[in-house]
Structure 1
Amino acid sequence: MTDAGTTAAEAAYRGVRAAVVGTGLIGGSILLRLRDAGLDVTGWDPDPTTRDQARERGVSILETVEAAVAGRELVFLCGPLPTLPTALSAVAAASGPDCILTDVGSTKAEVAAAAARQGLLHRFVPGHPMAGAELAGLTAAGPTLLDGAAWVLCPGPVTAPFRWLTGLLLAVFGARVVPLAAAEHDRAAALASHVPHLLAGALAGATHRTAAPDAVLALAAGSFRDGTRVAATPAARTVNLLLGNREEVLRELTGVRAYLDDLAAALRTGDRERLTARYDEAGAVRRLLSDRAYTTRVRDFPVDGDHTGEVGWLRETGAAGGYLGACQVREGRVRYTARLPRAGSGVTRGPDGPADAVDRR
């Protein structure tokens, strides 16, 4: 995010009192970005060494989680995935009743269910920024790591916290906010993020076990480096995300195996036409990462009342491959500007409504 693009948008959020609980790679990057954007932000991490590192980088780190979140308007929960339900309970108890809570975990169904059990759906918004690095810890964090990232938020039955948090992420991080139901996120993340960790681990692990691993590494170029990059992620972090989304990962892995078996069968029989067709199909999907065309759609809803239609439209937008580029609350209505894949440029169709239209239903 450039300085020229941040001044006006960030101004509305300067002075917001925020806290970050867990200041590793993602939490630390959020902490540093909020600090640079002018928010009043504090942090806490269970590791004393990490707290010292944060102070060396000029951020406010307190000695207890209770002190860090007291009097805050917004708290990001950024600890390891298995700790999030317990951390959510502790932070909710230590923060004010109007404090908005969100997380950055790589799976959403479990923490969303925990929030429901704890009666926190009125102020907890499950979240997941789709960015990171194979490195870990605060020393690898940076204030620009998450700029422009696709940032999943799961809208719940009370939409005011979702709207406010969406506005902040758009203004401060330049995020592309992707609204999804928690279960839909976990299904999509299985193939978009989690299965690639399995494939990277398999390729790197097979290289280690081959007869001449040093020769393989000597020849390794871009395809090997790109394909194995996340294998360098700390093992504990990878295991957490795989076990946290086990059923969805295994389900999507079945499809990946079937496609790989199809390629192997064509290779085994020397079927050039079949191999070419499979790689043409795969290449078309890969090119959508950079060549996808989008159209703009605008919808607005009443701020008060039944939010079923609003939540449904938001979830449909995310499931169709869209994201939010603006969220404005004015004169008793909330207006969303969404960007959706243009018909013919993707694999799904977007939710209802013509391009560039305002629908007041």
Structure 2
Amino acid sequence: MVDGPGARVRAAVVGTGLIGGSVLLRMHAAGVDVTGWDPDEDTRRRARRMGVPVPDLLVEAVADRDVVFLCGPLPTLPATLVEVAAMTGDRCVLTDVGSTKEEVAAFAATRGLTDRFVPGHPMAGTDRAGLTAAGPDLLTGAAWVLCPAPGPATAAFRWLAGLLVDLFEARVVPMSPAEHDSAAALASHVPHLLAGALAGAVQRAPLRDAILALAAGSFSDGTRVAGTPAERTANMLLGNRQRVLRELAEVTSFLDDLAVALHAGDAPALTARYDEARASRLALRDRRFDAYDRRFPLDGDHVAEVSWLYELGVAGGHLTGLRVGADTVSYTARRPAAD
């Protein structure tokens, strides 16, 4: 990895679909020395027409890089991680953008890659796919989960977190892989199930065309992610299956409460449940944050540092900056203000 903020970063992006392509285009626009690579020849040609260096061979794209973003389909990630790790030096930081983290983090540990692999997940996207849907601003300001590990791996996390803040203005959310997968199940994965169910029911409805003619914001917002490629959604759901099923049961329980109240004509019960739901929606819209700094010794086992980072993420906080000094690392963080 590079040694300091003044050093010129050399990056590569492997897999240039929606997210990988957006990472690539943002870094290219920022003047970073970045190469891309994709297994699809047409996609490589399209990226070259955008002015981005894209070799035909993977090894040429990742050689002598400081950081490589692994952005291919979720099932291909373990094999790609091993392949790219063998092509890069020990100081090259590896990260991914997959929607589940525990499985790939455990896999990296079995291959001795924890010290330089930092699992990641930018929380952004659209209902389209591919490089043609990518854009340099798609990930700007996004919540970007990173999963730090104590020991030498902490240095890779610090460096990568600083890069994401500087280049993407990211709100870096530090979490353990297990906590990420639990939170993402309800924040992202179950919504794909609900969107698919609503859109699928309309597709089967006798009055489908009339329904679509009347569909306004509530239908459009509620079904947006149903427009994402089906295979990508299936990979995401299967990659976090047990947690998604557990959280789906909680959603189903709440929906059952609504159905029981509706069946009984119980207006107070319906109102109470929607007041509860509205509180969550308002909390999302009107969140306030307090800013503060935290400093840790640069060397050591970093257990306290990583524990604090995990606690920050679980509390709904994020990092907005960090600085590595001669003896310490200083974090600038924001966390939800007390009600």
TM-score by length of 2: 0.97
Task: After TM superposition, list the pairs within 5 Å mapping 1:154-233 onto structure 2.
Answer: 154-157=147-150, 158-233=153-228
The aligned counterpart of 2:301 is 306
1:33-84: per-residue Cα shift (whole Å, max 9, x none)? 0111111000110000000100111101011111110000000000000111
Aligned residue for 1:305, secondary structure, equals coil
CA distance in 2, matches of 1:180, 1:44: 29
- 1:145 aligned onto 2:145: no
Per the TM alignment, residue 343 of structure 1 is displaced from its structure 2 partner at its CA by 1.2
Query: What is the one-letter code of the residue matched to 1:341?
Result: P
1:185-220: per-residue Cα shift (whole Å, max 9, x none)? 000000000000000000000011112111110100
- 1:278 aligned onto 2:273: yes
The aligned counterpart of 1:51 is 44
CA distance in 2, matches of 1:236, 1:203: 18
The aligned counterpart of 1:355 is none
- 1:27 aligned onto 2:20: yes
| Unmatched tracts of structure 2, length 5 or more | none
The aligned counterpart of 2:89 is 96
Seen in structure 2, the aligned counterparts of structure 1 residues 20 and 131 have a Cα distance that, compared at 3 Å, is same
The aligned counterpart of 2:77 is 84
Per the TM alignment, residue 14 of structure 1 is displaced from its structure 2 partner at its CA by 7.2
Per the TM alignment, residue 338 of structure 1 is displaced from its structure 2 partner at its CA by 1.1
Query: What is the one-letter code of the residue matched to 1:73?
Result: D
Per the TM alignment, residue 13 of structure 1 is displaced from its structure 2 partner at its CA by 6.4
Contact kept? 1:15, 1:38, Cα under 8 Å:
no
Query: What is the one-letter code of the residue matched to 1:27?
Result: G
CA distance in 2, matches of 1:113, 1:243: 17
Contact kept? 1:76, 1:104, Cα under 8 Å:
yes
Report which stretch shifted further, 74-83 or 289-298.
Answer: 289-298
Task: After TM superposition, list the pairs within 5 Å mapping 1:102-117 onto structure 2.
Answer: 102-117=95-110
Per the TM alignment, residue 331 of structure 1 is displaced from its structure 2 partner at its CA by 2.6
CA distance in 2, matches of 1:115, 1:223: 41
Per the TM alignment, residue 27 of structure 1 is displaced from its structure 2 partner at its CA by 0.4
Contact kept? 1:13, 1:39, Cα under 8 Å:
no
1:235-259: per-residue Cα shift (whole Å, max 9, x none)? 0000000000000100000000000
CA distance in 2, matches of 1:254, 1:14: 49
Query: What is the one-letter code of the residue matched to 1:117?
Result: T
Per the TM alignment, residue 15 of structure 1 is displaced from its structure 2 partner at its CA by 3.0
CA distance in 2, matches of 1:83, 1:297: 39
CA distance in 2, matches of 1:162, 1:118: 18
Task: After TM superposition, list the pairs within 5 Å mapping 1:284-299 onto structure 2.
Answer: 284-299=279-294
Per the TM alignment, residue 297 of structure 1 is displaced from its structure 2 partner at its CA by 2.4
Query: What is the one-letter code of the residue matched to 2:122?
Result: P
Aligned residue for 1:162, secondary structure, equals helix
Which of 50, 62, 68 is residue 61 of structure 2 equivalent to?
68
CA distance in 2, matches of 1:185, 1:281: 24
| Unmatched tracts of structure 1, length 5 or more | 1-10, 345-361
CA distance in 2, matches of 1:118, 1:134: 34
Per the TM alignment, residue 337 of structure 1 is displaced from its structure 2 partner at its CA by 1.3
Aligned residue for 1:60, secondary structure, equals coil
Contact kept? 1:14, 1:39, Cα under 8 Å:
no
1:145-172: per-residue Cα shift (whole Å, max 9, x none)? 0000000000012200100111010000
CA distance in 1, matches of 2:204, 2:284: 33
Query: What is the one-letter code of the residue matched to 1:330?
Result: G
Per the TM alignment, residue 12 of structure 1 is displaced from its structure 2 partner at its CA by 4.0
- 1:332 aligned onto 2:317: no
CA distance in 2, matches of 1:320, 1:168: 23
The aligned counterpart of 1:350 is none
Seen in structure 2, the aligned counterparts of structure 1 residues 13 and 248 have a Cα distance that, compared at 3 Å, is farther
CA distance in 1, matches of 2:26, 2:7: 12
Aligned residue for 2:304, secondary structure, equals helix
Query: What is the one-letter code of the residue matched to 1:55?
Result: R
> How many residue pairs get matched?
334
- 1:135 aligned onto 2:116: no
The aligned counterpart of 2:32 is 39
Query: What is the one-letter code of the residue matched to 2:59?
Result: E
Contact kept? 1:17, 1:41, Cα under 8 Å:
yes
CA distance in 1, matches of 2:129, 2:6: 28
Query: What is the one-letter code of the residue matched to 1:268?
Result: H
Same amino acid, percent of matched pairs: 65
1:291-319: per-residue Cα shift (whole Å, max 9, x none)? 01111122110010120000000000000
Seen in structure 2, the aligned counterparts of structure 1 residues 14 and 213 have a Cα distance that, compared at 3 Å, is farther
